[in-house]
Amino acid sequence: MKKKIALVTGGFTGESVISLKSAAVVEKTIDRDRYDVYKILIYPGEWYFESASGEKIPVDLNDFSISIGDEKINFDGVFNILHGSPGEDGKIAGYFDMLGIPYTTCDQLTSAITMNKGYTKAIVDDIPELHIAKSLQLFGNTPSNLDRVQKELSLPLFIKPNNGGSSIGMSKAKTWKELPEALDKAFAEDKQVLVEEFVSGREFSIGVFRGKGEIKVLPATEIVSSKEYFDFEAKYTAGVTEEITPGRMNEEEVARVARIVEKVYEKLNCKGAVRVDYFLEKETGKFFFIEINTVPGQTETSLISQQVRAMGMEVKDFYTQLIEEMFE
């Protein structure tokens, strides 16, 4: 018997556009000999499966089931590709936990913590060989922030919403005059904002996943952007960024990065596939942790897909490992 898998996509944030693109790739690539896949779209107040004829069939939220004609379909598991809220911040994980339905991503606690950049950095701070840029976590857009940042941090600075992904609301301030506008932009996206000192380094992103019972580190991607930093435009506009997979690291760096990111995965109690962004500082080669993404994109050109192929694995087999792991 094939397992019935709900592929959840959509979401409550601007990242829903990317989620739909990711879901289209997963839906097309997943092993249909093993799984029957039902794409479930989740929007505020509207959870549904769209039939081949275009009919919207509502999800019964009491047990996360759908009824097609006389057939009631209960799902064996969930492939979560829902970026942002509620798929990445722990809300949907808690819902599935209460129903006893397994899913491919991190549990409720890990998802909630890792959506908060400041809290995540506090947890991974003591991992050997891992460094963190000096930063401040701000909890409201008040005039006193300007004085505090100037007293405690040095220019240039990155200012970004503490929660969320896709680099929406992120700015770089090279002068103190640029700081007020940068804070306003970040606080427009979130009630908490992270301000951190700039690290001059080469930027990388690396996938880590658990498959067949063991943690596997994928080849890293080096991010070479024509923009000053990897913002929303750089991530999702063709030609703005060069992505080199595997990234240019020597043997020592490859081994050290793998050691560190495996420890990050373990320390945060991650499940499924995650992506860790980091810098290697130009002068020292030190590893500086940027952030972790627990529902990384799965589009044709996404970093994880590139890394899986660079490892010599078919993306279809990668998805099978993620699905089978959630049933263990």
Angle at alpha carbon of residue 225, lines to 224 and 231, rounded to 5° = 125
Annotated binding residue at 291?
Answer: yes
Which parts of the chain fold into alpha helices (H)? 16-29, 91-99, 108-114, 117-124, 144-152, 179-187, 232-236, 251-267, 303-310, 315-326
Q: Is the peptide bond before 161 cis (omega within 30 degrees of 0)?
A: no
Catalytic residue among 15, 88, 196, 325: 15
Annotated binding residue at 197?
Answer: no
Calpha distance 81→16 (Å, rounded): 10
Active-site residue, 166 included: yes
Active-site residue, 302 included: yes
Cβ 170 vs Cβ 159: under 8 Å: yes
E-strand ranges in 198-286 read: 201-211, 214-217, 221-225, 241-244, 273-281
Catalytic residue among 22, 302, 305, 325: 302
**What percentage of the chain's residues is helix, strand, coil (to nearest 5)?**
30, 30, 40
> Which tokens is 96 given?
């599935």
Give the count of beta carbons closer than 10 Å to the beta carbon of residue 150.
12
Active-site residue, 22 included: no
Catalytic residue among 166, 167, 171, 205: 166
Q: How far is C-alpha 252 from the geometric centre of its chain's CA atoms?
A: 27
Annotated binding residue at 293?
Answer: yes
Binding-site entries: 277, 291, 293
Residues with a catalytic annotation lie at: 15, 166, 302
Q: Which residues are annotated as a binding site for Mg(2+)?
A: 277, 291, 293
